[in-house]
Every structure is written in C-alpha cells, then in structure tokens.
Structure 1
C-alpha cells in the first residue's frame, strides 16, 4: 500500500489510490456493499483510516434515505468487557463513515427498551445491543423497522444475529496450553456457576483433559469471580493434600488469589505450579508476580464484527444465529514450560 498523505482533505479518489483499487470498489467497500473480498474491504478501510476520509454526509443521507447513524445500547458503560467492544464497533463504523449514538441501560431491561425507542425516534439505521456478560438474553423482537445485532450476550432467538466469544474453546485452550508446558495434574477453579462463561469453560477444559486420558486433579469448585475465592479454593486444594502441578483459573481475579495462596505456602510459580487465568485484564495480568498467562476474549474484535454484520443487515444482507469468535492465548511467565 502506498504512503498516506493527509495534509489536504481526502477524497474517495485518494482512498482508492492508496488502497490500489478502483473508485467503484472503494465505494462498495466503504459502504458495505456485496462482491468485495474481505481482504480488499480491509485494505480500503485501512486506507480510509489513514487518510481520515469523511464523505459528504448530507449528500449521502439524501441519496440513500439513511441517517448515517447507528444506535448502541450497552448494559454496562464502564465495564471492562463493554468498553473494548464499544471501541471495536466505533472503529469499524467510523471507517464506514457512520456515527454512533450511545445509551447506557445500566442493566435495566425497561431502561434498555426505552433507550431503543428513543434511538429509533432519532432515525438510526440500526442498533447494537451490548451485554456485560455472555449469558444468553431474551430477544427484543424484530418489529422495530431496523436491524438489531446482539453483542457479547447472544439472543435466545436463533433468527436474530448475535456475536460473542467461544468460551468452550477458551477452556480447552487453557488446558491444552498447560499440557503443552508439561503439566498433567491440573486443577480447575471455577467462577460463578450461574454464568455460562463458567460452565462453558469447564466443558472445554474437561474435553481437553479427556482427549489425553486425564481428569481434573481434585474437585472443581465454583464461587465468586474474585481474588478471595481464588485464595480460598486454592487453600482447600492444599489443605486436602491434593497434588497438582497446574491450576486453570476461570478469571484473572481467581488466578491472582490462587497465586497469593500458593506463595503463602512457599510454592514457586511456575516452577512448582503453573497458573493460567482468563479475560486478560491488563491491570491484573501485568502487575501479577510473575506476570500472568491469560486467555483474551477478543472483545474489540467482537465489536468490530458485530458492527460489520449490522452494516450488512442495513444493506440488505442480514446474518442469523450466533457466531462464536475464538479467544486468544496470551502467554506470560506464570506458565513457562518445564525444563
């Protein structure tokens, strides 16, 4: 791709030239039209971002009958999962010259519906409905006159479009990583069992263990998603004389508590016990000693993909069902391989 020159106001012709595509292809890619490959679309979007390209919104609106705005309703504006989702969605929509109107429902179903109605009165072209957790949620229905896409917390209606992370595969990924580090006595500390994130991660972990003829070391116990439960669950394993060389914790908070309990018994991490967390929460993983290996939910990617699917629906190509995006392993010093 050529080098961007952003000293003057960018035109569509400049975006096409930088992306090395035709004017028509650049226009189709920017407006989510069909018959454009994913690679080409990404190249055009990147060119538009580099050039800070912004088409004439008034002309677009008059020509298309659309407002060029999207409504985004989140259940948790300050949440560490919601925020990167919002960033990913906004980046994708901005690249398509679409503005975002944000509303915070604060986990209140009635307030969520009220926000949806208000955003529709402002003539948004579509709605992203973002949850703070991955538990399935009731559908808002399809009688709103614009498409909806559910993000992180999938709709229970298979005819809706939802995007979330694959927690079953994440549980499998955590255990496979510990096995690859030479560990074969793996304990599991679960989070709140009322969350599908916890039960799904357990399911994946058990599948990975079974594939190599192993079972969890010690009982799998569930509790709050916090350091106190991580410490308490680890102490239970130690007090009961369970012999383990690794612990798969279903959140980074649990892992931090686990590490505290292990250190209090003069056990070394990872030499004596390897520990892996989940969520890749920087404030915990990077300040942990040693730095904590974790599974990243790829929430920013979830936001981008959901926004792209919403634009597809606005352009007459709706998606249906739930797409589970793979998580990503971030290895740090708490799970180094055995010598």
Structure 2
C-alpha cells in the first residue's frame, strides 16, 4: 500500500491514523491506495498498542439454560459491534470450576469478564481482579461490583396493571419457590400494584410453591376451593401458568372469558402452544446481556459504573387475557 501511494511505511501509518504530520494531499493518496487494496488496519496490533488484547471472557453457569442463552446472545451482539472477541466458558454451577475459568481467562490476557449466573439470586463476589467484571442475571453481593439484571418487581407491576386494565378484580397470585428472590420480587410487585389500585389479592397473600406445572395445578385447585368466583391468576412462570390452565379447564372455566391468566418468562414453546396462547412477561434478557457488555467496555476504557442496574421487562399480551371489557370509572 505504501509503495502504491509512493510514500514510506511510516508515512502511510501516520496518514491512516490521522496524524497531523501528514499533508492532506498525501493522506488522500494513502487512503485511495488503501481502498484499492481493501486494506484494514490490524485490530490486534491496535489493541496491543493500547495495552489491551481485544478479547473478553464470558463465564456462564447454565450454558443450555433458556435464561442464560438470551443473555449470552445480547452480550455477544454488543461485543461484535465493537469488533471484540468473546471467549466463552461454562462453569456448570461449580464455584471451583468458575475460579479455574477466571484464572485461565486472565492467563489469556482478556480485557474484562462477564459472569452470567444460573438463577437470579445474589451471588458471592469474585473480589478484586486485575480486569473489570460485570455480573449479569445474578447480581453480586458487593455493591461496589457492576451487576446487570432484570427488574422483577416491575415485572409484577406490569401484569397486575394489565389485568386491572381489563376489569379483573378477584385476582390470585401463584408463584414459585420462595427461596428465589425472583419469586418474592415478582409477587411483591404484583401485590403492591393491586393494593395501590384498591384491590386486595385473594387471601391477601401470594401462594408460593415450585416452578412446575404440577404446582400450578395443585395451587389452582386449592384457590378454587376457597374462591370459586376468582377472575384472574398471576403466575410466577409459564410452567406454573400451564398447570393453572389445566385445572381451570377441568372445572369448565373458560380462559379468558371467565378467568384471565398470565405467565412469566415468555418461553416460546410454552406460551405459543398453550390453549389459549399465554400472555407472559419477557425478562428482556438480551438487553441485560447487551447492557452488561456495554458497561464492561466502558469500564475497560476507565469508566466503571458500580452498583446494580435493572433492565425493564416487557409484557407480551396474548389470548389468555383478552376478551374482557376495560373498566372506565
């Protein structure tokens, strides 16, 4: 390229890097030669000059999980937009394996790390490392760390307000394992929104159980025994909602005409194959991944942002909450 432009290699380099020592005429000649050769600067060489490798490490604890994969995709998309390589490791929920991967990635001179948890509960911090770290989906216990999660309280508010807008007033909340912060937060958001609207949740509490269809069936059976006139059910997961739909069908209750039902997770195979298709909350996990990667890149450039940041969830309405009038006053 330098030969075609009729300049030295040093001058060509200065021209391409915008140095002031090169005349505009010479710069244009070098740029024209570079375009003719479809030349691109060596990204690795540029990164090394800045003291960086141009790669980040991404450690997941659930590589096959329906929650971690969207988070990983979002992070990889953000990294790709900046021409950064991503080295992926699966810790499989093992703290020792996680530590091994951290040390191995540091040995590869990565510029930073993203740690994706298997469940959205607070997790132990890795402590101070020589590179920035962002915790995604599962936040770090250390408020000085950078964590990126979904807003589970806001998710609960979303579904409650959605049902209220459709005139539902006798609403039950059936959710998952109470040891999960996500179950507690979703229930707190939903019940808070109901109470704020002057609507008391049935039994004045959320019904906690497990995350599966069996609990959805059993929990719904118990509630129907006490409140046969209920008109809506907020479920903490799509699997629970599928079980709820089964029990309502067995009692000849129509969805949504008699009882509206919402799920959580927006798990495609669950919500789209339900009868009827299930209104659900999407946790916006790709956005969680993108934001985690963006915060990591900012930290690598000297702009860290400590603390927990929450991405807003999205409600995806489907047939399970349609077909009922909206109260107007």
- Give the count of matched residue pairs: 288
Task: State the Cα distance separating 1:223 from its structure 2 match.
Answer: 1.0
Task: State the Cα distance separating 1:62 from its structure 2 match.
Answer: 2.9
Q: Which runs of 5+ in 1 are unaligned?
A: 1-22, 25-52
Aligned partner (choices 146, 151, 162) of residue 131 of structure 2: 146
The 2-side partners of 1:229 and 1:159 are apart by 38
Could you say which structure has the larger radius of gyration? 2
Q: 1:14-93 maps to which residues of 2 (within 5 A)?
A: 56-93=42-79
TM, length-normalised to structure 2 = 0.85
The 2-side partners of 1:173 and 1:221 are apart by 19
Q: Deviations over 1:237-257 (max 9, x none)?
A: 122344210000000000010
Q: Secondary structure at the match of 1:153?
A: coil
The 2-side partners of 1:131 and 1:311 are apart by 20
The 1-side partners of 2:69 and 2:98 are apart by 17
Aligned partner (choices 129, 144, 163) of residue 178 of structure 1: 163
Q: Deviations over 1:19-63 (max 9, x none)?
A: xxxx99xxxxxxxxxxxxxxxxxxxxxxxxxxxx98632322332
Q: Deviations over 1:62-82 (max 9, x none)?
A: 321211100001110001000
- 1:162 maps to 2:140: no
- 1:211 maps to 2:185: no
**Partners of 2:238 and 2:267 within 8 A in 1:** yes
The 1-side partners of 2:46 and 2:192 are apart by 51
The 1-side partners of 2:158 and 2:61 are apart by 28
TM, length-normalised to structure 1 = 0.82
The 2-side partners of 1:190 and 1:263 are apart by 20
The 1-side partners of 2:71 and 2:193 are apart by 29
Query: What is the CA RMSD across the aligned residues, in angstroms?
Result: 1.5
1:258 alignment counterpart? 244
Q: Deviations over 1:181-200 (max 9, x none)?
A: 11000001010000000000
Q: Which runs of 5+ in 2 are unaligned?
A: 1-16, 19-38
The 2-side partners of 1:234 and 1:251 are apart by 14
Runs of 4+ in structure 1 deviating by more than 6 angstroms, as ranges, are: none
Q: Secondary structure at the match of 2:202?
A: coil
Q: 1:1-339 maps to which residues of 2 (within 5 A)?
A: 56-142=42-128, 144-218=129-203, 219-339=205-325
